[in-house]
Structures are given as C-alpha cells and as structure tokens.
Amino acid sequence: MTRSSEGWIRNFVDGGFVDPDENRGFDKSDPATGHVFTRVHEADEALVDRAVASARRALDHGWSDTPVRERVALLRRAADRIEERFEEFVAAEIADTGKPVTQARELDVARAPANFRAFADIAATAGQESFITDLTGGKQALNYAVRKPLGVVAVIVPWNLPLLLLTWKVAPALACGNAVVVKPSEETPSTATLLAEVLEEVGLPRGVYNVVHGFGSGSAGEFLTAHPGIDGVTFTGSSATGTHVMRTVAPRVRPVSFELGGKNAAVVFDDVDLDEALTGLSRSVFTNTGQVCLCTERVYVQRKIFDDIADGLAERAARLRMSTPADAATTTGPLISQAHRKKVLGYFELAEQAGAKVIAGGGVPDLGAALNSGSWIEPTLWTGLTNADRAVREEIFGPVAALIPFDTEEEAVALSNDTEYGLAATVWTNDIRRGHRVAQQMRVGISWINTWFTRELRAPFGGAGLSGIGREGGESSLHFYTEPTNVCVQL
C-alpha cells in the first residue's frame, strides 16, 4: 500500500492509507517552479476522530506496555530503513520545499535516522530517580519514580525542516511508548506520509503512527488539537499559531511543548577572526533561505569592524547561487510559497520606509522562464536601521538581516536582549572569557560561541518568551513524553 494514489497524497490512519475524497483536496505546488505536482487529501473531522481512536486502541492493546528494548530496536530498524530509502526522502523533501539537493541530503534527511538512533540510545539508558526517606521510629521508606507514556500525542510540524523536526518529535514519543497523530504542514505533506510507509515496513503496530493532512483553523490542525482524546501537543511553528493552540487545549489542561519563532541576534566583537565570523554569519543568515527558526536576522557589529563585516557579508551574499534545486551547485532555494514571499517583501518595503540602506539583494531575482513562477527572493542585507524599526523587531523568516553597530559589550547585550523572542544567539569573539560572559547573559534557549547550528541531541533545546515553552532533546524529551508516578513503600 503506497502513500500516493492517482496523483493524491493520502492520509494514513489505523495502519493503512485512506482513499481520498475527491471533494476534499488541495493542490501542492513546487516552490521552485510554481507548478502543481500533486493533490493532498484534506482530513475532515471524522477522519481525525478515527486517527485519534486508532491511536488510543494501539495504546490499550499493548503498545504502551511494550518493553523499552523492543521499542528502541524498532527505532533503530526505522533509521536503517530511512537510509535504505534515502533518495526517496530527498526527492520528496525537494518537491515539497524546493531546497537545494545538497542541503536536503546533508541536513534534512541525514538528521532523520540520526534522530531515531539518538533517542533509541537515550531511552535505552535513561534511569529513574529514587530516594530513601528516614521515618520516625528508625524506619525508612523507599520512593522511586515510574515513568508511563503520556498517551496519544498530537505532533504538529512546520514546513521549513519538515522531516528533521518530525523525526525529532516522533522518535522520543515512540521510544516512550506513546501513539501519535501527526499533522504536517499543508505545504510539506510528503515526507511525513513516506515515513508512514517506513514505520509500517519495520513492524510498528497499527495505530501507533497516524498522519492527517490539512490546514489549521477549521481543518485538521484545529480538529486535532481540540480533540478530547489527545493527551498532549508538541508543536513547532509560529508564535501566533502556538498561542492559538494553547487557547485550544487550555480547557482540558493538556501539556504542551512549543518551539516557536525567533528574532535571533549575532554579536560580533572587533577581536574576531573576520573570515571565520563571515563564514558563520553567511550560514546563520542565509541557510535554507533564512527559513530556520534559529537563523540570524539581527547582526550587531562592534563599530571598529562594522564596514569590514558589512562589506564582507554583502560579498558573500552575492556569491550565493539560486538555481534549480537538483543542481548540486545551488546554494539557495526559493521561499516556501508565494504567500510567504509576499510577507517577506512587505518587510522589504517597511525597511525602505524606515530609511534602510540595501547593501545586498532587496528584490526578486530573474532566474529565467523555468523558475520565475517560483517563490524566489534575493538574499538581502540592510544597514541604517535601529531596534525601533519593525523589520528589526518582528520575525521575517527569510534570507534577510539588519546590521547595526555597537560600541561596548554592555550595549551589545542590551541590544540583543531587546526583543520579545528568546530562541538563539551567537557570539563571535576571540576573547574566550568575554564569549562565555556574553553568551550567558543572552535571554535565549541556546547561545553559541564562534559557531552556529551546532546541535548536541542529548542537550535541552527550546526558547523563552515568544519563542516557546518547554525543552526537547535528550532526557528533556523523555520528561515531556512521559508521566511520572512516585511509588512509596515503607521498608
């Protein structure tokens, strides 16, 4: 049984793909060309209800009691099978997102088996707390924690790194004995559906993994988060959508794990290795066409080297190659959609109105007839803005950054923390004491020194403020996907 049927991407419920309803579908376009290449079956409320009921049956019929060693063995088989079907995942990711083939291979798809293996190892070696309590009369009590699966988990993933973030959530959820109902972004339905085939092939019991396609309000996303059979929600996406999800689950007091938006800062001190900093900044501003929650949109540069950094980063932006995603030389893909490009171009206008000087990009490229209907945009850099301007305060989620000078360390910290977001920051300096000092003052979930996007999968990851609630990664993920029960016995 396959995920596609006569040009449709189908929902996966209770161990099987659902035949599409011709009256409930939407087109999926290639962001690089703008051409429609498939239709997606939109799940109605009844199908979402079937998916949740299927997940509940899987829990009640033994999945939650499956020994950890069997669950982690299944995760390892899934990792192996993803690698066996690696190029299929690459093709699906490129079709959905338009990202360059090199990135799809080296980042997005490569991280999927890594996520499964990492959480297999973490779940297999995780311990439990225990305490001896002294009681009156010389007696003692033993207290120990038993972790049980959270239950049926709604997994809602965004379009920017769809397979990477999907497996980042599904792997620990399954390792802990949960059943999941996945709602991928309507922009990127393919890899979540392909993963259903893989999990079925490696023997995951029916109902443990379900996929429902659709939109947010009034569609599969709202039907899922509002469903009384859901025991928790893990969501990565915009802060506005996270707020809506939180309101939806609040009456039933369901736990949530949110990794939301960012308006991330980089601080560049004048003692830095210029080439190293420029290489890192080029990655952190332009990777995935700026469509990564961790990307840098604010670059604060010590005044002495401001012109050097501005000129050097503009020169590196000009080197980026926008072309067909299948070309290994392509470095920069399109934005995800025409609607998102319109949003980003709106910030170009706001920056211009605020007096920004464009030192790189600033518009829409001409890539020829084959690509001009796609959602392309030029990598763009501004100077002349301040923290008061909307283009510096609001998340844009495109290949853009504002460069702003500073004089003192204290000023750099204040400028970086002058935001409602709190996801990530990067400090560039050759003074190791200053690097640690500044990194620790950043009000963010992750603070890098002389690097960017370096991830340790065992470390906690998440944001503060508008950037989210909770932490994922390592045992932090196990804490979210389980409910602890303290057992106390008098000895």
Q: pTM for this one?
A: 0.96
Superfamily of domain 4-260+467-490 in CATH is: Aldehyde Dehydrogenase; Chain A, domain 1 (3.40.605.10)
Q: Judging by DSSP bridges, how do beta strands 400-406 and 380-383 pair with one another?
A: parallel
Residue 3 has a pLDDT of: 63
- Average pLDDT over the chain reads 96
pLDDT per position as a tens digit, 14-72 = 999 999 988 999 999 999 999 999 999 999 999 999 999 999 999 999 999 999 999 99
Residue carrying the six token digits 């924690």 = 145
Q: Which residues are catalytic?
A: 259, 293
* 137: phi then psi, degrees, rounded to nearest 5: 75, 15
Q: Is the pLDDT reported for residue 108 higher than 70? A: yes
pLDDT, tens digit, for every residue of 5-20? 568 999 999 999 999 9
The structure tokens listed for 291 are 């469509």
- Quick check: helix, strand or coil at residue 292? coil
Name the residue with higher pLDDT: 174 or 127.
174
Q: State the architecture of 264-456 in CATH terms.
A: 3-Layer(aba) Sandwich (3.40)
State mean pLDDT over 345-369: 98
pLDDT at 2: 60
Contacts of 360 (CB under 8 A, 6+ apart): 313, 314, 317, 318, 378, 379, 380, 381
pLDDT per residue over 283-335, tens digit each?
Answer: 999 999 999 999 999 999 999 999 999 999 999 999 999 999 999 999 999 99
Cα atoms found within 13 Å of the Cα of residue 100, Cβ hemisphere only: 19
- Average pLDDT estimate for 392-405: 98
Supply the DSSP string of 310-329, one letter for each residue: HHHHHHHHHH--B--TT-TT
User: Residue 302: CA atoms inside 13 Å, Cβ hemisphere, count?
Assistant: 16
Please state, in angstroms and rounded to a whole number, the distance separating the CA atoms of residues 331 and 283. 10
The DSSP element (H or E) to which 339 belongs, if any, is helix 338-353
- Helix segments in 41-85, DSSP class H: 45-60, 68-84
Per-residue pLDDT band for 117 (boundaries 50, 70, 90) equals very high
Structure tokens belonging to residue 146: 């038993």
Position 128 scores a pLDDT of 87
Domain limits, the chain: 4-260+467-490, 264-456
- pLDDT over 70 percentage in the chain: 99
What is the distance between the alpha carbons of residues 245 and 477, in angstroms, rounded to a whole number? Answer: 20
Whole-number pLDDT of residue 5: 59
- Identity of residue 407: D
- What pLDDT shows up at residue 4? 57
Phi-psi region at 265: left, alpha or beta (left = phi > 0; alpha = psi -120 to 50): beta
